[in-house]
Structure 1
């Protein structure tokens, strides 16, 4: 079973990192960084996959807001908690918003649509989105890499090949649960306000 998992991660891991980073992909980027440290995936390739997924994902949501503002899915996103705040922020501070939106968990989807609806110039969005995506990918892939280093330090030589896989998946699960709890609390706070 562990050999099959190892094979699947080696073969499809970068695709999973790319697809996972299109939406809310912090945990996927961290897991990718962990497997890069364990030499299951190549570090630069994980970074590029995370960067490309993040950049393409945010650009796609921007295009949705810009070109399909009357589409039912875009209209539904406009009703989500936090959209009005995101739209207000992108109107007041467009550059800062595009640079920081990716780092606010739970806001990426509505933030991209809000940026598309705001009237920010496309070239401006693309430049700041590329810078934000590059910094975001570097941060979260590096965090995963250092999780791998920490796990190796703690477990020493006991960290065998199959244990690496399960530790990586466990780290991803913990990060996803923490992020989901934080997003839930943020949404709850915004409904109250």
Structure 2
């Protein structure tokens, strides 16, 4: 297990940034857990912790760079609509919305920046994102783990897990594209 410390470090480093594609790495960690090379609780904790650190940094960026973030979000009607939509729902639905926004395309960034801009309490935001990141880490690692159990081979497992991740991301992108066109349509 000592030789796998590099994998835990890599999982933290790739889970923190919001737009760094790391699905294959996380699925590979699930395969390694199945093979007994990594610890399941430690992988889940590492991935969720890394993502939560990234969420805290996004929130902090929104708080400390408020004028710049507002200018950036105001540059396009689509961003303005996303900010307004997210802020309204965050105040109306609270913690359940904070958890759910993580699973929308660009939800980590828009959710974190919005939470900071609309003064959503940082503790409640981080609690919601902690729950969301734990769920995300669990199903992401499970793809590789169960793939390895079913396919009995690490390479095939990683390929299947990556394929499933790409399919889910593709469907989410299609759904968000259709919904975002409606969200920014001018009102008569």
- Distance in 2 (CA, whole Å) between partners of 1:31 and 1:103 is 21
Is the CA contact (8 Å cut-off) linking 1:47 and 1:137 kept in structure 2?
Answer: yes
Query: 1:65 matched to which residue of 2?
Result: 62
What CA deviation, in whole Å up to 9, does each residue of 1:74-121 have, x standing for no partner?
A: 643564474443222212212112222223343222111111112111
DSSP 3-state at the match of 1:70 = helix
Unaligned runs of 5+ in 2: 183-188
* Structure-1-length-normalised TM-score: 0.73
Equivalent of 1:188, from 177, 181, 187? 177
Equivalent of 2:72, from 69, 72, 76? 76
What CA deviation, in whole Å up to 9, does each residue of 1:10-69 have, x standing for no partner?
A: 453222322232225672433322221122322222112111112111111111222212
Unaligned runs of 5+ in 1: 1-8, 153-158
Distance change in 2, residues 1:182/1:169 (3 Å): same
Is the CA contact (8 Å cut-off) linking 1:105 and 1:183 kept in structure 2?
Answer: yes
Equivalent of 1:177, from 138, 141, 166? 166
Query: 1:167 matched to which residue of 2?
Result: 156
Query: 2:44 matched to which residue of 1?
Result: 47
- Distance in 2 (CA, whole Å) between partners of 1:15 and 1:75 is 35
- Distance in 2 (CA, whole Å) between partners of 1:168 and 1:76 is 41
- Distance in 2 (CA, whole Å) between partners of 1:11 and 1:94 is 37
Number of aligned residues: 173
Equivalent of 2:13, from 15, 19, 23? 19
- Distance in 2 (CA, whole Å) between partners of 1:151 and 1:82 is 41
Structure 1 vs Structure 2 CA RMSD: 2.8
The CA deviation at 1:143 is 3.4
Distance change in 2, residues 1:13/1:39 (3 Å): same
Query: 1:92 matched to which residue of 2?
Result: 92
* Structure-2-length-normalised TM-score: 0.75
- Distance in 1 (CA, whole Å) between partners of 2:172 and 2:13 is 21
- Distance in 2 (CA, whole Å) between partners of 1:20 and 1:77 is 25
